[in-house]
Each structure stands twice: as C-alpha cells, then as structure tokens.
A and B are shown apart, each in its own frame.
Chain A
Amino acid sequence: MYYRRTLTDAQINRELLHVVFTTPMWWIVLVVSLGLVVAVAVAAVGYMFNQGLGVTGLRQPVFWGFFITNFVFWVGISHAGVMISAILRLSQAEWRRPMVRAAEIMTVFSLMAALTMPLVHAGRAWRIFYWIFPYDWSRGIWPDTRSPLIWDPVAIFTYLISSSLFVYTALIPDLAVIRDRSKGTWRYPMYAILSLGWHGSPHQWKLQGIAGILLSALILPVFVSVHSIVSWDFGVSLVPSWHVTVFAPYFVIGAVHSGVSAVVTLMVIMRKLYHLENYIWEEHIDALARLLIVVATGWFFLFWLDFVFALWTREEQEMVVWNLRLFEAPWGWLFLTFFITSYVIPVPLWLFKRVRRSFTWMLWTSLLVNVGMWLERFLIIVPGLVRKGPLVFDYGSYRPSIIEITIVVGTLALVPFLLLLFSKFFPLIPLWEEKEGQKLIDHIQLGNVKVPALVKEH
C-alpha cells in the first residue's frame, strides 16, 4: 500500500494506543451489553446442562444441529486471520500492515467460540475428557485415534496454540512500547514481563522478520488441515450428501470466504470505533474485496462440483437430500437465501470499484456473506441427517429450541466481546509494522508525475 500521510512514531503510538490508555464511554457500553448477552447464553448452557439435551431441538435422527453448525461456522471465521496474515506476510504485501493483528486475534477468539460448541453440544461437557485426552482415566480405555472426533480436537488445539503464539510473537515489540509509556503506573509490571525485555536491536528485528515468515509458512498448512479435518467429520461418514471427496477444500475455501468477509466487517467497524482513519483506507478494503472476488469464485467452483457430482450418481438418497434442500419449504427458502447472500449479491457488486472502496457497502456486503455462510453450514449438515434413513418413516425434522438459539447468539456476542477486551490491553494494529511501513515510502518521478513507490531490500 502506498502511504498518503506521513506519520511520526510518536503519533502512531498515541493514536493506536489511545484505547489502551483511556477508556471511552462507547467501549464501556459495548462491553457491558455484549457481556450481558454472553451471560444470558452462559445461563442457557447451565440450564441445558442441568436439564439435559432434551431442551434442545435435537431429535432422532438429527443429532447435529445448531451447535455443530455454529462450530463449523466459527472455525470457518477463524480461517481468515491466518489466511490474510500469513499469505500477505509471505508475499510481503504492503497492505497487510493494518490488518494482520486484528485478523490473527479474530482467529484466536473465534476458535475459542468454536471450541465451546462441541463442549456444549456434548451435553455433559466434562465427559469429553474421557475420549480426547491420552490418559488412562478408567478401565484401561484409551482414545480411539482412528476417529475423526479425535482428529478434530487435536487439529483445533494445534491451531489455537499456534495462532496464539503467532499473535504473541508479533506482539512483543508493541508490548515494549506500552511498557515504555506506562512507567510508574500499575500497568508497568505486566507489560515489563510480557515484553520480555525487548530492546529492538537489528538482530532482534531480523529474527522478528524471519519469525513472521517462518511461522506463516508453518501455520498455513495447519490452517488448511484444520477445516479439512472438520470437513472429514462429515466426509468420511456415509450419511447421504456428506460422503463427498471435495468436502475438504470446499470447506476450507468456504471458510476463507466467510473469514475474509469477517475481516472486512471488522476493519470497517474498527476504523469507525477506534478512529483509525489514518491507518485503514479505501485501498485496504479494496484489496480485500478483490481477494474476495477470487476466493468466492473458487468457492463457487467447488460448490458447483459438489452439486454436479451429487447429481452424477443419480442415487435415490442423494436425490432425496438435494430435493429437500432445494425444493421443500423451509429448506428451499434457506437455500435461496444462502446462495443469494453469499454469492449472487456481493460478488457482482464487488466488481465495481465504487463499492469496493465504500466502507458502508463493504460492511453490508461482508455481513451478508456471513449470513449466507452460516446458512450454508446449516444446509450442509442438517438436511443429510433429516433424510439419513433410506425409508420414509425414518425421515426426521429439526427445529432449533430457544436454548440453542440463545447459545448461538451468545457466541456471536462472545467474539466481539473478547475483541473489545483485547483492545483495552493491546493495540489492534501492530505499531511496529506501521512504523516500518512509513520508512519504506518513496516515489519515482516519471515525466510530470510522482509515482508512489516502495523500498525493497532485494
């Protein structure tokens, strides 16, 4: 990205650490209201644990409903962080700078939100430890590592630990900035410890740079594997419409589609709330939108393959599920909504530069994508189960209960709630990356124009 404004280091510190050192009213209002929603959801979880899973809409044969849909959705959102941050770091794209941190931290929090879902879904969450952890709890029973339900937690814990370390490593220089600004206050000891005595010598900076590249290269294969493994929860089973070879990349690219859209949403809201007009510009969301056109079209290709090869077999059960999805109310309406909101409306709009460079348009289109992508997960998971049995009297139905809806809404509040808390203690935009970017601005004179240019080391 080519800077239009020159900012001094002191100004960057002041502007990006504003919310760390002061507490605006809107922040308190938002944290309290989102906290309330989360509290209600926690209460609903408590009620459900007390009463049993009967209070949900899960009935034979549909035992994977809103919770699992929401799990897949949040794992999907979590894919943006690493995808944006790692790919842009590896390709050394300048426009990564203001969005890497926020995207990475969204990965961490949405993974946490995702993790709560299988726990809640299990009904008796504490029992999960019996089948996940490699410990001889009782009677010599060990986890069955050949089950996708073990792969899943292994992958998600790997991803959570990796992305947390990723965030922390890049945070160290910024922690040193806060340390130096908070001498003599209650904050100092905390930041002094967290910043590990960072000085900022060329050697440390060099390692920080290599770490960014190396960790990106290592975390990208993890990111691809995580949603693939989530997809294999479905793909390796024999439920009609689930047993599809394309599921792994289809889930991954769908996750990127929804995740990058979530980053757009986050960027627009952050810009407004935190007054980041000097850092997040039209060019940034324009670049994200162009990336989204490519991702969405790739996603559409895989969606099309899933659909065509389902018809390909002309097997009775596949046809029944697709018939349900497409033509029976309310599924057909949901399908139509999903398809229109996740592709038909946003992608053609993004072809226009004016839309791509409008924060308002991008906010709404990116939100639409995620409405669609939530429905997509729901439509992948539930119809297959509703028509799982080969015989008509085995058919089921599914209607989420108010408890499930409350808990799902709770996770929608949980992620912004955690993001707000994070922003109170840590900057959402990496200070040192912005400062570095400022140093690399240059221009080349061509005839009468000064063409903006960038300094490259190689």
Chain B
Amino acid sequence: MANRKLLGLFQEPQQVADAMNELKGSGIPAEDLDIYSGSPFPEGAFGEHEPHHRLYMFPLVGALIGFSLGLLYTAGTQIAYPLVTGGKPLLSIPPMTIIMYENTMLGAIIATVLGVLFESRLPKRSLGLYDERITEGYIGIVVDAPEEKADEAEKLMKAAGAEEVKHES
C-alpha cells in the first residue's frame, strides 16, 4: 500500500518532543519521521533520527583537486614559457607552493559548500508538504507512514497539541 505524508504543526517544542515519543511508540520507525523548524535545536532534542553524512570527505577531495590544478598551473606555465626571472630557477618550489596552497584551499572550500548542499539534498525543485508558519516559529513533524498508520499518526499529533495536520495533496 502507498505511503501517505502528513505534516503536523506545533507551537511548542515540548509538544513536538512528546508527539515524537508517541509516534515512535506507535511503531512508526524514526527514519520515517522528520522535523521542520525555523532554527536549529540542540542535536537529539526531539529524539529524532540522525542520518549519516560524509561531509568530511568533501574538503579532502576538493583539496586534492585544487592542489593538482595548482600544480598544473604553476608547473605548466613555467614549462610552457621557460624564462628565468629574477634569478629564480624554473620550477622553484617556494613560489609555486603559494599558488598551490591557495588553490588547495579554494578546492577544499568549494567542495565543502557543494558537500553541504549535496548532503542536505539541496536544491529541491518543489517544497512539497510545507507550511510558511515554520519560519515564523512553528515546528512541523513530517510523518511518512503507510495508509493504515497515517490516521493513527494524525490522531496522536492532534492529541499531543498539533494546531493543524496537513496532508499531501
């Protein structure tokens, strides 16, 4: 049977924490519950599922790419136009280090930003089930449950104090 998506909107964080406990208690796995909030809460405040991420790999890969490009740029230009200037030998390491360093850091930073977007699964084409009040201080619980569980989830959220429960149209 198909899954149904629900968005319960709450005013108070405590209601959300309670609702999350109830929902998990009713047998909905934590992976199928998500939270939308207008600002970050301490990690695990709602007992939410914490998916894995590999953000730390991105800067390393980016740094490697940046370093290689830097090496290509500095070494390549000197080989392509071999001219000793100011008594500095061709392919001398100290000045090349500077450009390679900058490129390494640039690669790492660009890759980190891309990594943040990728791991956050952004950009998204459409917002889907969402409510504008979330950026005004409301907190939303997104339930992705099979049809038969969805009604129970809606009841649980209402009981915990949800002001409104929206359905995916």
Contact = CB atoms under 8 A, between A and B. Distances in A.
A211 B113 contact: yes
B83 A144 contact: yes
Contacts of B117: 196
Contact of A203 (B50, B59, B83): B50
B99 A150 contact: yes
B38 A200 contact: yes
Interface residues of A, number: 66
Contacts of A215: 109, 112-113
B113 A140 contact: no
Interface stretch (A154-162, A299-307, A309-317): A154-162
A412 interface: no
Interface residues of B, number: 61
A9 B46 CA distance: 19
Interface in A191-211: 196-211
Contacts of A221: 105
Nearest to A136: B80
A436 interface: yes
B102 A158 contact: yes
B129 to A, nearest CB: 10
Contact of A155 (B73, B102, B116, B136): B102
Contact of A432 (B39, B42, B125, B132): B39
Interface stretch (B84-92, B147-155, B159-167): B84-92
B96 A199 contact: no
A422 B74 CA distance: 37
Contacts of A202: 34-35, 37, 40-41, 43, 46, 48, 50
Interface in A148-180: 150-151, 154-155, 157-158, 161-162, 165-166, 168-169, 172-173, 176-177, 180
A134 B112 contact: no
Interface string B38-68: 1111110010101101011001000000000
A151 B38 CA distance: 42
Given A202-B50, A215-B112, A439 B36 contact: no
- Kindly name the residue among B88, B110, B123 whose own CB sees the greatest number of chain A CB atoms within 10 A: B123
Given A197-B126, A200-B36, A203-B50, A181 B112 contact: no
A207 B105 contact: no
Contacts of A208: 40, 116, 120
B103 A154 contact: yes
A435 B39 contact: yes
A75 to B, nearest CB: 14
A199 B126 CA distance: 10
B77 A457 contact: no
B26 interface: no
B134 A180 contact: yes
A245 interface: no
B156 interface: no
A6 interface: no
- Kindly name the residue among B48, B109, B117, B134 whose own CB sees the greatest number of chain A CB atoms within 10 A: B109
Given A9-B137, A165-B110, A207-B116, 17 more contacts: A10-B137, A13-B136, A134-B77, A136-B80, A144-B83, A166-B109, A180-B135, A197-B124, A199-B124, A201-B36, A202-B35, A202-B37, A203-B119, A205-B37, A207-B119, A222-B106, A439-B39
Q: Which 9 A-B pairs have the closest CB atoms?
A: A197-B124, A9-B137, A435-B39, A196-B123, A205-B40, A180-B132, A142-B77, A146-B95, A196-B122
